[in-house]
Structure 1
Amino acid sequence: MEFRWEIKSKADQSTVQSLSSEINVNPTLANLLVNRNVKTFQEAKDFFRPDLDKIHSPFLMKDMDKAVERLVKAIDHEEKILVYGDYDVDGTTAVALFYGFLNTVYPQVEFYIPDRYQEGYGVSERGVHYAAENGFKLIVSLDCGIKALEKVELANSLGVDFIVCDHHTPGEQLPNALAVLDPKRQDCDYPYKELSGCGVGFKLIQAFTERTGKNASHLFGLLDLVAVSIAADIVPITGENRILAHYGLERLNNNPRPGLMALILAGKGQRSPQELLENRQLLQREMLQLKSDKDIEISDIVFRIGPRINASGRLEHAKASVELLISQDIHDALRRAEVVEDVNAARKNFDENITKEAIQMIEDREQEKPYKSTVLYKEDWHKGVIGIVASRCIEQYYRPTIILTESNNKATGSARSVYDFDIYEAISECSDLLEQFGGHKYAAGLTMELDKVPAFQERFEEIVTSRIADIHTKPVLEVDDELELDQINYKFYNILRQMAPFGPGNTEPIFCANQVYAQNIKVLKDKHLKFEIVQDGQVTSPVCIAFGFATYYEMLRSKMRFNIAFEVRENTFRNTSSLQLYVKDIKFD
């Protein structure tokens, strides 16, 4: 797919030069920092040296006093507490964190995850009735509840109190809960607005610990789950999230909880959980190697850990993921991870097969006329993977995409968007055709009557056609700065590495080098390229790895000049480390 490069504007040069001098880095690195709103020595110190002592007081969050008071009351009066969470990664990690903590200090607590297919997203009537019928006096919802106005009123009428912990944007009215913890409330002065749902749950635990005088040292042990939620829910890794993610990754790399350890081992793909269970010596060796490597990053959570946690909620029931995450024993965790691996394998199979069908449907449609959007419906597609399929379709046909399937005699779907196109707004203009919808600029969910699908397809295409602009038709590659090849060395790389963890709000820097040519070109596995690049006037000729660029072989061999966009990475092979450039795109003159 062809990218449109957007090279970021140079930051204010007087600020860059001042920061460069203060912290003794070259102007290129100082420019990266200033563009990340790091402009002074103190801000740079806070950025490079995250400090848990600098996370905000939880009592700055609106209603936190009320929430803690009600939680303490429930424990003092030996009331049953139900911890209620969503079925995605943020929801399941939030439930594992809050339930796992509370269960160590109070036995009258259970957790509840709604069934994706029978109850749908968020707080359900069935969940509220379950609480009332089983004697629960308090529900604590995590990663959901901010728009559950009717369900909270139902709970109130049944004598069940509600504490909402959410991070989604509220509607015009807040639920009538005893406490509503959400930093995005308009009347909430909490300094950081971008916590994950699990992060909000963590703040409630932090507040409860402070108010009850309990030992706060255990809080660090919860941060592996918070880091997983931050990475998987794609929230900004800035401010407080950066601190929580930094220490969460430290926990993941040094002493992860058994459930995450099992998922990490499974994600390596070298040994199945069952193999490790059957060979204790092998298990010990793999665990020691994992702690020795200490190389788990945000991207590993996004691509290896998160999808496994998500799998059970997509295809079966997310309760399995929570039980894995709260497991106290590595052998029990591996047994549960084996089940999750099987479900994840099935999820991949559904994903691949449905994506093939969807792509074929798009190609068949394109023979009739060109489209600006994709809206596909097939009654037997698995509801749990249609969001993934929408993303896969965008990888091949870059345009706003909605994938629909049948569920409970309705057409239900997932929407995904392209750079800077507000798909939620486009869907809202079709609201008269919909039963319900929700989401944000880049992703949404929707439900309609089956007979409304053709009209929706037509209307949505009209809206997208009227609004789509040239900037929406190609994926954007944001390039931080131009480099000369001689700037790439270990001193430069070691400072780059300290800018991690990378993610939204602090993406891994992408650079470009212009007017280069290739030498020593090799094709790897018929798909990839390995080559060196040379630039006039520069001594350095770094090695590049270009995954999926094999079709460029002949053009590179011709010594034609090109511009190249890349990330700087370290490669270790046979105990020898060297810097390599991970190629993002190549543009020939």
Structure 2
Amino acid sequence: MRWTLKPQPNPKTVSELMQSLNVSEIVASLLAQRGIETYEQARLFFSPTLDDLHDPYLMKDMDKAVARIQRAMENGENILVFGDYDVDGTTAVALVSSYLKTIYANVDTYIPDRYNEGYGVSRQGIDYADDNDCKLIIALDCGIKSVDLVAYAKSKGIDFIICDHHRPGDELPSAVAVLDPKRDDCDYPYDELCGCGVGFKLVQALGGTFGHTIDDLMPYLDLVATAIAADIVPMTGENRILAKFGLEIINSSPRPGIAALMQQQKKSAFSITDVVFILAPRINAAGRIKHGNEAVKLLTEFNLEQAAQFASEIEKYNAERKGLDKQITTEALRQIAENGEQDRFTTVVYDESWHKGVIGIVASRLIETHYRPTIVFTKSNGKLAASARSVRDFDIYNALEACAGHLEQFGGHMYAAGMTISEENFLTFKDAFETTVRETIPDELRIPETVIDAEIDLTKIDDKLLRILKRFEPFGPENMTPVFLTKKVNDFGYGKTIGEDGKHLRLFVKQGNSEGFAAIGFGLGSKLELATSKKPIDIAYALEENEWNGAVSIQLRLKDLRAAE
């Protein structure tokens, strides 16, 4: 593990923030590192309001999208709301369809089957629209590269509105409106929305024509927050505002489907971390194991008893998903070992029997053992389908683009992508991908990294600091939980391993005459001897609250530790 201390910000900026905000040097420095340099920027960061959201009409084609939906309503046309089968897609479909149904009756939904249709806009979905006399398809979280399919729909007299957040290709589909803040010709002020976020902006614009204010749309923000957390988009700008208020809805008045999932976990309040690790995997499990329609049904159900029944079914899918994920990860690691591929720059594995619904999770699991760009293939409809995951700061999408000649189709982001390939091209692609990564990945990106915001002494840690840090939430990419470095601390003599097989580490650390703090390090059990050797250690950690028997105290969440220099 390499430790990287972030560049320290301009001292003048830090000093000005300390004075204008009346905060400590630590807090001012953390703000400056996040690009917050003025009182007004700090106000927006600490106290965002829904009024700080951008005008949806700043997004290119928004006026065209709203006008086409209005025309569909005036003419009594059937509207099909189409979305991908993951959390971002299913929450987006639930949001847009449930809002439309409050103002218009002729609305249907469609989620493609992961196994028979694959990712994104499908010919089957367009045929379904045609069979059901739908003259307008609103595609959410997909469609930006569906040039041929949108043309196919057009030949059948069906219009498209595309709401996507993926990178466009060289040619845009000939849709009535293409809403995507990543379009080169779109001047929307924030281009990191998720698919559900783009769908929300459409609803915000359309709602304005019916006199619906942002306050009227608050009940939909639980869906947007769930999508933002699950899709690992930057927790900045509009995403942070929508996630913050969406989390408030989740914890105060969630829709019955989300409430039912929370009740199953016996939790009355969720953090953004709970959304990522508890809520999102369960919504995803429907599309992975059965069908994404199950997730949409859950998220649009307003009868509490029925929602509880749907949630119970989804819990079963999630349990099945966990078993498959564990089994396939074991098989993939064995394949890497048997092929002698432990020292490659990439992991590319394939087995035709692997469950397509969990290969993305397996790719992430493999990175935990072999830290490198990873692709997991399985067989689907006569082709090989794959999910790719990357390591920090390496753009796997660019690497795939360099190998595009071997692929039939691909799409995704810097850190995650999907692709289809013919079986005979598998080995040549595997070699090409290895060569591309080997030639382009810097050596340091091949080692896992702990990024540290600041070096501090334990004496600087108190309740006030923790209170202010809690106002940095919700955390996510580009606004991660602050990580601190403290040098030359010692375990106070209580160090031990805990948990299954002693995987985790529990310490009580002090630095000189400082107050001592309990510290817990998940997955750091192997470092017990180092931590309790009586020799000073350096620790990298985040701060958190620990509640035990009704008492609340500050705890250090260890990221890593090493012998002090």
The reply to whether TM is greater than 0.5 is yes
Q: Does 1:56 align with 2:31?
A: no
Report how far residue 369 of structure 1 moved: 7.4
SS at match of 1:543: strand
CA distance in 2, matches of 1:245, 1:504: 13
| Residue matched to 1:532 | 508
CA distance in 1, matches of 2:151, 2:136: 13
What amino acid sits opposite 2:487 in the alignment? N
CA distance in 2, matches of 1:484, 1:387: 40
- Which of 26, 35, 38 matches 1:37? 35
Pairs within 5 Å for 1:383-462: 383-462=356-435
CA distance in 2, matches of 1:476, 1:369: 20
What amino acid sits opposite 2:401 in the alignment? S
Distance 1:186 1:431, change over 3 A: closer
What amino acid sits opposite 2:516 in the alignment? S
Question: Which segment drifts farther, 41-50 or 520-529?
Answer: 520-529
SS at match of 1:128: helix
CA distance in 1, matches of 2:481, 2:542: 7
CA distance in 2, matches of 1:420, 1:554: 32
Gaps of 5+ in 1: 271-288
| Residue matched to 2:154 | 156
Q: Does 1:308 align with 2:306?
A: no
| Residue matched to 1:217 | 215
Report how far residue 257 of structure 1 moved: 0.5
SS at match of 2:330: helix
Report how far residue 543 of structure 1 moved: 1.1
SS at match of 1:144: coil
| Residue matched to 1:188 | 186
- 1:327-356 Cα deviation digits (max 9, x unpaired): 102211110011111111111111000000
Pairs within 5 Å for 1:153-302: 153-214=151-212, 216-266=214-264, 268=265, 290=268, 294=269, 296-302=270-276
| Residue matched to 2:330 | 356
CA distance in 2, matches of 1:153, 1:185: 19
Report how far residue 433 of structure 1 moved: 2.4
What amino acid sits opposite 2:377 in the alignment? L
- Which of 130, 136, 140 matches 1:142? 140
Question: Which segment drifts farther, 216-225 or 486-495?
Answer: 216-225
CA distance in 1, matches of 2:214, 2:372: 48
SS at match of 1:190: coil
CA distance in 2, matches of 1:101, 1:499: 31
What amino acid sits opposite 2:542 in the alignment? E
SS at match of 1:311: helix
Report how far residue 170 of structure 1 moved: 1.2
CA distance in 2, matches of 1:470, 1:573: 43
SS at match of 2:119: coil
Alpha-carbon RMSD across the aligned residues, in angstroms, is: 1.5
| Residue matched to 1:505 | 478
CA distance in 1, matches of 2:128, 2:472: 47
- 1:280-325 Cα deviation digits (max 9, x unpaired): xxxxxxxxx71xxx4x221111111001011111122100000000
| Residue matched to 1:279 | none
Pairs within 5 Å for 1:375-386: 375-386=348-359
SS at match of 2:167: coil
Distance 1:237 1:8, change over 3 A: same
| Residue matched to 1:100 | 98
Report how far residue 371 of structure 1 moved: 2.0
What amino acid sits opposite 1:89 in the alignment? V
CA distance in 2, matches of 1:64, 1:419: 34
- Which of 561, 566, 569 matches 2:536? 561
- 1:170-196 Cα deviation digits (max 9, x unpaired): 112111111111111111111111111
Report how far residue 225 of structure 1 moved: 0.5
| Residue matched to 1:324 | 298
CA distance in 2, matches of 1:204, 1:469: 40
CA distance in 1, matches of 2:136, 2:434: 46
- 1:216-247 Cα deviation digits (max 9, x unpaired): 53201110100001100111111111111110
Question: Which segment drifts farther, 520-529 or 337-346?
Answer: 520-529
SS at match of 2:174: coil
What amino acid sits opposite 1:316 in the alignment? K
SS at match of 1:213: coil
Report how far residue 438 of structure 1 moved: 2.3
| Residue matched to 2:549 | 574
Report how far residue 215 of structure 1 moved: 5.4
Q: Does 1:365 align with 2:363?
A: no
What amino acid sits opposite 1:307 in the alignment? P
Report how far residue 7 of structure 1 moved: 0.5
CA distance in 2, matches of 1:372, 1:66: 47
Percent identity over paired residues = 49
Distance 1:25 1:216, change over 3 A: closer
SS at match of 1:217: coil
CA distance in 2, matches of 1:563, 1:489: 20
Distance 1:169 1:433, change over 3 A: closer
Question: Which segment drifts farther, 368-377 or 5-14?
Answer: 368-377
| Residue matched to 1:344 | 318
What amino acid sits opposite 2:508 in the alignment? E
- 1:520-573 Cα deviation digits (max 9, x unpaired): 22332333222211212x422111112222222222222111110001000111
What amino acid sits opposite 2:497 in the alignment? V
CA distance in 1, matches of 2:28, 2:475: 17
| Residue matched to 1:273 | none
- 1:33-84 Cα deviation digits (max 9, x unpaired): 0111111111111110011111111111111111111111111221111111
CA contact (8 A) 2:166 2:412 kept: no
CA distance in 1, matches of 2:428, 2:215: 57
What amino acid sits opposite 2:397 in the alignment? Y
CA contact (8 A) 2:336 2:342 kept: no
- 1:435-469 Cα deviation digits (max 9, x unpaired): 22222332222222212222222332233333343
- Which of 463, 467, 473 matches 2:440? 467
CA contact (8 A) 2:342 2:370 kept: no
Normalised by the length of structure 2, the TM-score is 0.96
CA distance in 1, matches of 2:355, 2:4: 37
Question: Which segment drifts farther, 427-436 or 15-24?
Answer: 427-436
Report how far residue 95 of structure 1 moved: 0.4
Question: Which segment drifts farther, 456-465 or 86-95?
Answer: 456-465
CA distance in 1, matches of 2:428, 2:54: 49
| Residue matched to 1:6 | 4
CA distance in 2, matches of 1:501, 1:562: 31
SS at match of 1:403: strand
